[in-house]
Structure 1
């Protein structure tokens, strides 16, 4: 005799099957890990030469106004330059000199920080060796009236004492006022420079006073 399956019993069996299906499988929940990558984009800077255009305080940027007015920064076009050896200056392997920048213009201007300095040669202004490094002195602002000057210490190491130097006679020095892309040229053949730009810098410069 066959057992009869009533509609109510069929629904009960189906419900039990659904519950059993839901409880089957792994006891470990599936986990999805998302990694977030943050990409910062920086505009490429224009290529720079190995020359140092000077700096207001040894950092990027300056502290003086580039335009007119009582706080206008001195520019190369209104300055003349000179490099003078200190008569009693010098240490083993180096000489001490002074850079002087004179205001030849008709208006007062200011100089703040380090000038950029490098040897040049080959009769065409080619930079010789690395630009001057800075001596770490504190920057001050110098107000330069017409006809007046500001000065900075310059230490010049002997080229023969620097490895990989490739010594060569310089035509002079190129001096950038702080935060200026134009330069003053001081002609002198008194110094021997390094042709190699990867050799240790011969020049060490202080801030303008």
Structure 2
């Protein structure tokens, strides 16, 4: 075969195509585009589809403050007002006059309202005999099967609960001599201390149980 021939039309087109490509490259560089044809964002501007996400010093972000809800429908209740439970701090405890029975020893535990407001007591008080060191003597008293009622105490008025046990001289129970009786008002935790001057009490053995009744109006005298 003879030497290859270049067609005259291709020779004429080659310089023209090169000039067109060069012109397109110069145009892209002058318009801020990249080689892919995508537009570039100038420095210091924000794309319309991008929101600011940084929040450093000197920037302020919008905040929403929820209104504070205040309940104005519930009136305040004064502690110690009429109809409220009597607290230990409002009461004084004492031991009333004993009432001997057939082989029984009975004592009224009296709670007196020393506060300035009317209050109520209901149910059983707590009671515990203690020695001079404050150690409890004997088990906790048992509760007699009574029906509790609410007792309203105006300032200066009293309620009482019965404390009873079998006479140790008759029952033969083992005894101890208490220094005091701790009395806890119904539904309270803090006791009132009352000096015990009524002699020995049963703490173990036969018929050594001590019983308590519910509170009733008055002093039990």
TM-score clears 0.5: yes
**Residue 133 of structure 1: how far off its partner (Å):** 0.8
- Give the aligned partner of residue 187 of structure 1: 195
Could you tell me which runs of 5 or more consecutive residues in structure 1 were left unpaired when the two chains were aligned: 1-64
| 1:90 equivalent among 96, 101, 108 | 101
- Give the aligned partner of residue 145 of structure 1: 154
In structure 2, the CA distance between the partners of 1:114 and 1:162, relative to structure 1 (3 Å rule), is farther
**Residue 194 of structure 1: how far off its partner (Å):** 4.2
Is structure 2 residue 124 aligned with structure 1 residue 114? yes
Residues 166 and 207 in structure 2, CA contact (< 8 A), matched pair in contact too: no
Greater Rg, structure 1 or structure 2? 2
- Give the aligned partner of residue 103 of structure 1: 113
- Give the aligned partner of residue 4 of structure 1: none
Structure-2 separation of matches of 1:69 and 1:206: 27
TM-score scaled by structure 2? 0.56
Could you tell me which runs of 5 or more consecutive residues in structure 2 were left unpaired when the two chains were aligned: 1-76, 217-221
Residues 86 and 98 in structure 1, CA contact (< 8 A), matched pair in contact too: yes
- Give the aligned partner of residue 170 of structure 1: 178
| 1:124 equivalent among 120, 127, 133 | 133
Residues 80 and 86 in structure 2, CA contact (< 8 A), matched pair in contact too: no
Structure-1 separation of matches of 2:135 and 2:206: 16
**Residue 76 of structure 1: how far off its partner (Å):** 1.5
Q: Deviations over 1:1-46 (max 9, x none)?
A: xxxxxxxxxxxxxxxxxxxxxxxxxxxxxxxxxxxxxxxxxxxxxx
Structure-2 separation of matches of 1:118 and 1:168: 13
Structure-1 separation of matches of 2:182 and 2:83: 25
Residues 138 and 207 in structure 1, CA contact (< 8 A), matched pair in contact too: yes
**Residue 200 of structure 1: how far off its partner (Å):** 5.5
In structure 2, the CA distance between the partners of 1:184 and 1:129, relative to structure 1 (3 Å rule), is same
Structure-2 separation of matches of 1:201 and 1:175: 19
Superposed counterparts of 1:1-209, under 5 Å: 67-87=79-99, 89-92=100-103, 94-121=104-131, 123-160=132-169, 161=171, 163=173, 165=174, 167-196=175-204, 201-209=208-216
In structure 2, the CA distance between the partners of 1:143 and 1:183, relative to structure 1 (3 Å rule), is same
Residues 94 and 109 in structure 2, CA contact (< 8 A), matched pair in contact too: yes
**Residue 139 of structure 1: how far off its partner (Å):** 0.1
Structure of greater relative contact order (alpha carbons < 8 Å, 6+ residues apart)? 1
Residues 178 and 196 in structure 2, CA contact (< 8 A), matched pair in contact too: yes
Residues 203 and 209 in structure 2, CA contact (< 8 A), matched pair in contact too: no
